[in-house]
Amino acid sequence: MWSDKPSFRFEINNFSKREVAVSSQTFVSGGCEWHLTLHPKGDGFSDDLALFLTVSNSKSLGKGWERRIDYYFLLLNHSDNELHRSSVQKQTVFKEKAMSWGFRQTLPVSKFQEKGFLEKDKLIFEVYIQNVEAFDGEGGDVSSEKVDTVDINGFKVLASQANTLRKIFAEHPDFAKDFKLKNQVVRMEYMKVLLNLIVTLEKPSKNHSELSNAHSDLSELTEAGFKLDWLQSKLDEVYLKRKKADADVQQLDERVKKLEQMKVDVKLDCLMKKLEEVSLERKKSYDLDCSLFVDRVKNLELMELGFKLDSLETKLEKFLMETKNADADGSRVQQVEESVKNLKMMVLDLKVEVDKKKTKSCADGFMLVDDIA
């Protein structure tokens, strides 16, 4: 039965800027040390994201060492939404000539360039491990540098960690009573996990990834036989503090967003008022222009009518002169003169009316039209 907590959680920020392989810190699962490696641009064999799990510190293991495990990978975005889940690999054997196993083909690299696929440019890489069978080999190379270790109640630890372990045994003397594994390398690795976990929980700042890994480490230590109720209480306390801090940050973010929205709303109100003012001014200007244009057209029409009346008067004079020249006895001339005289009186009356309208048009703004023109 798979645990719902990962054996290790690896958070990668600024993922889009990653060009070369990136590896996680070393972690312990099943009493063995591992690390994760991710190739953001592929490993040269395909254009897919490549993921691998590797045995760490293999030089400290003896000849013929071997690890046999079941495992699978999970890729998540910033909101912990699943992007990819690998198939479960069962009874995978890690050894000197096969220290890394994983997947060369997971997700196309181009997928990560799609808008909205990866939130806040963060990728989370989780590994789930179970059914660990470990053989540490014979002899062991144990590196060229000699490391000073101290035995504390059957557990070998670094000399720098001795005082911390002594303090733990003094406060919780039975915490390792049910831990039955005899292999000294495995015992040392488990104790390393415990001591590192205590250091992590004492740190002032812990992100979600660190707390998730701490929970996984604590679960593994408990399953191995350690009694760590006191450490579980500490982890719960730290988790609640982190949850409260996250809630406070979210609340502040919401307040900032509301203030920013208020500023936007105020700016929009000001802009709408200005647009209304401009629209009103343009409407007034348009109405005035239309009125003046109509007056100008009327004036031009009156001017044209005046020209026509002048022309008509000229033609009457010309007609009268031609009639005089053509009529020798003058009888016809007298008759025509009477008719012309009557027509000229009508033209004169019309010209008077035109002049009145022209005068009124000028008074209503004709000069303004001239100024605009």
Q: At what angle do helices 162-171 and 184-202 cross, to 10 degrees?
A: 80
Residue 69, token pair as written in the block? 């495990």
Protein fold of 284-372: Helix Hairpins (1.10.287)
**Residue 14: which pLDDT band, with cuts at 50, 70 and 90?**
very high
Which whole number is the average pLDDT over 89-96?
Answer: 94
Strands 32-39 and 22-23, how do they pair? Answer: antiparallel
The pLDDT of residue 183: 79
Evaluate if residue 119 carries a pLDDT over 50: yes
Evaluate if residue 200 carries a pLDDT over 50: yes
Q: What is the mean pLDDT of the chain?
A: 80
Evaluate if residue 332 carries a pLDDT over 70: no
The pLDDT of residue 189: 84
Protein fold of 1-140: 2.60.210
Evaluate if residue 196 carries a pLDDT over 60: yes
**Residue 123: which pLDDT band, with cuts at 50, 70 and 90?**
very high
**Residue 337: which pLDDT band, with cuts at 50, 70 and 90?**
low
Domain ranges of the chain: 1-140, 147-227, 284-372
- The CA-atom distances, in angstroms, between 224 and each of 30, 176, 201 are 9, 10, 20
**Residue 62: which pLDDT band, with cuts at 50, 70 and 90?**
confident
Structural contact between residues 306 and 354, judged by C-beta atoms closer than 8 angstroms: yes
Question: Which residue has tokens 């080999």?
Answer: 137
* pLDDT tens per residue, range 137-162: 765 443 334 456 778 888 888 877 88
**Spatial separation of the C-alpha atoms in residues 30 and 55, rounded to whole Å:** 12
Evaluate if residue 313 carries a pLDDT over 80: no
